Chain A
């Protein structure tokens, strides 16, 4: 699974979508294909960003690429991630959230008018880091730990129950006891006592 690109867009005064930052990781593609792929990705990203209204999240499939877009509702800021088909959706969105938040902290809206001046090297590091989705997603991480724990616990419980006398054995033995023990000898009814003929 792979992230191909991460990019952030904004709207300028003319309602035009302008790209603020973009990073690419095209190492999967052959050397001669890379520029073509990059172009395709740029076009897809811009288109998706344009067509996403504020507060909306979308997932778009185009050929073999999957694009995740999140347009913030409070401000004209849209993030797009282009990944392959395997990359998990939830992770993509959480990466988007994270990147947008950090971008916003670092670059307030008044600096967006000049995209050339924006230098956001962190995005590159994130791109590289989150190639492994587990890194990004706390939830995934926890989920995996949980699954592992569950397995360990199940194994422990099983082994715990195996130790010592099997319950089935006890069920059988107690059944034996209850079959064998009849009620204790009781005084038979005195049929031959006080035979009064009234």
Chain B
């Protein structure tokens, strides 16, 4: 948790976390005495990023429970519930209350909704005697350049259910951000929901001005632009397999709230791996196999080795690990040269750091091996080949056959659906015959419940029959240079390294807005920037906007917009930024989720900018192809067995 605030970014993201922490302590202190905290399982992850258990203890929390079905056993009489306003949680709470009432015990219930109460939840709890409040937790800082609302299922809610609640939450979060860091003068974006969000922001600002004329938002000293992108504008990027180290960890293991859960054998000493030898004992009673112990590994910038590895293409990770291992070994060998006490003392001072590097090396070598095991399989490579060909628009019919083969081999449905949706999106739909064919194959191979899944995908325009319009994507691909032939994973020149040849569409759009277009390959931005010979250096160029790309944007779904938030009097942009005295910050908001590869690509872009423009990424949550499709997949409980929905 202490890893925030270490970089030289001009925006102090730490203050957001401090704000959230302070509000949490206010919430806790509003209830007197010793209390028991009950959390919904999805919120405990983000909450642990805000406050540790010691902070909770300081404010009187004796025990922490998860909010689940079934009675709540506790001796403490004050209960605080913190959860998202969802109906099934309300049912659990009502059950708890009913159960306690039977005991005739005198409990005190306090419920805090995150981030706000909803009428429907209050209705359910009307009878029960609970005090209800709100805990305004919204944007949680994961890194100095990454903020997340940690709202699950926004993709489904926004595009399938037509539930715009998350847009409201996003707007509130952004207003809070502007209250802290100043008004953002330019709001640009693409996508219907994005436009909705922008409109909401503009309206909210007017409301604030009306409600409280004294509070004048001054223009931001750091942020000069907000780019909002709908997930639906670029579905290709999450559907392709992420090829960065962090991206692959998410694909293979799944990262929740910056933590990944792995078998402890992977990160622990090798002695654990030899344990099975002892299990071959000859006892008459059958020995139950001990479930592999899991360990939660934090993945953030407090791990220096991880910072090096996370955004790299996985192909080069092994080499880096090897170099680091050798370097640590050399450092350890230095102990033989320490003769005087002074030298020994210096070595010992370094030893602590070396040991933690060693542990980190051990962890990541283990994780990389696991990922390796997955990426060398022919299935993985086949899927990758299909993706690359589809993204490049080559040999489409052949890809059809490959996908068919996969279904025959009963490859997990998520993998198949990812490829089918990719096929559909890139080609503007499938031919009638193929469409019907794949539909039948899926239902027969994976279960009839997926009729609903496929209908959902159709509604989302992800798996459709070819309409009258031919593929618009070809134009976009060419205009935005999405496919790049020469990719050097060791020394990437362009953001396309994150997918080994495909540049994420969403990030290309960002490049259009901030730089005027996809950066020419092999030509870093610095070479094109006008440098002032008098030494003020290349002043950061302002936002270019969508100029020159209107045609391409028309091919992509959703409205395009470019708004300016004016102050009644005063400059549109802060003087400091206009003069180039400090780097301009662009806040990028992904509505509906963003992937780790997009984060890596944006970081790469920022690096190429050589400090002239910084990027902060905010999102409703972090997603990947699996989590996205999982959220809209139909699941059925077959008499206690879960349907083949999860990968």
Contacts and interface: CB of A to CB of B under 8 A. Distances in A.
Real binding pair: yes
Interface of A: 146, 149-150, 153-154, 157, 160-161, 164-165, 167-171, 173-187, 189-190
Interface string B473-490: 000000000010101010
B416 interface: no
B179 interface: no
Nearest to A146: B341
Given A146-B341, A165-B270, A177-B369, A171 B314 contact: no
Contact of A171 (B319, B322, B376, B500): B322
Contacts of B500: 183-186
A67 B375 CA distance: 81
B631 to A, nearest CB: 27
Q: Interface SS of chain A: helix, strand, loop or mixed? A: helix
Contacts of B139: none
Contact of B358 (A146, A154, A164): A164
Interface in B311-358: 313-319, 321-322, 324-326, 328-329, 332, 335, 341, 344, 347-348, 351, 355, 358
Given A169-B270, A170-B325, A183-B500, A157 B335 contact: yes
A168 B351 CA distance: 17
B322 A149 contact: no
7 contacts: A153-B344, A177-B321, A177-B322, A179-B318, A180-B318, A181-B315, A187-B391
Interface stretch (B188-196, B380-388, B407-415, B601-609): B380-388
Given A146-B341, A181-B375, A185-B385, A164 B362 contact: yes
B321 A187 contact: no
A111 B344 CA distance: 52
B365 interface: yes
A84 to B, nearest CB: 31
A153 B487 CA distance: 50
A149 B341 contact: yes
Contacts of B485: 186-187, 189
Contacts of B341: 146, 149-150
Nearest to B355: A160
Interface of B: 243, 269-270, 313-319, 321-322, 324-326, 328-329, 332, 335, 341, 344, 347-348, 351, 355, 358-359, 361-362, 365, 368-369, 372, 375-376, 381, 384-385, 388-389, 391-392, 394, 483, 485, 487, 489, 500-501
Q: Please provide the 4 A-B residue pairs with the shortest distance between their CB atoms, ordered closest to farther.
A: A178-B318, A177-B318, A174-B321, A174-B322
Contact of B368 (A146, A177, A184, A190): A177
Contacts of A176: 318, 369
B315 A177 contact: no
B361 A170 contact: yes
A175 B322 contact: yes
A182 B384 CA distance: 14
B429 to A, nearest CB: 23
Contacts of B328: 167
B322 A150 contact: no
B399 to A, nearest CB: 13
A175 B318 contact: yes
B269 A165 contact: yes
Given A177-B368, A187-B483, A161 B318 contact: no
A170 B376 contact: no
Given A157-B351, A168-B329, A177-B369, A184 B392 contact: no
A187 B315 contact: no
Contact of B389 (A149, A164, A180, A187): A187
Contacts of B361: 170, 174
B394 A184 contact: no
A190 B329 CA distance: 45
Contacts of B270: 165, 169
Contacts of B392: 187, 190
B269 to A, nearest CB: 5
B351 A165 contact: no
Nearest to A173: B365
A165 B360 CA distance: 12
A189 B486 CA distance: 9
B344 A165 contact: no
A183 B368 contact: no
Contacts of A186: 388, 485, 487, 500-501
A174 B314 contact: no
Contact of A150 (B321, B344, B355, B381): B344
Contacts of B487: 183, 186
A157 B322 contact: no
Contacts of A161: 332, 335
B365 A187 contact: no
Most B Cβ at <10 Å: residue of A149, A176, A184, A189:
A184
A190 B389 CA distance: 11
A185 B375 CA distance: 11
A183 B381 contact: no
Nearest to B381: A185
Contacts of A174: 318, 321-322, 324-325, 361, 365, 368
Contacts of B372: 177, 180-181
Nearest to B344: A153
A154 B328 CA distance: 18
Contacts of B359: 164
A184 B325 contact: no
A167 B361 CA distance: 9
Given A157-B347, A170-B365, A186-B500, A181 B318 contact: yes
Contacts of A173: 365, 369
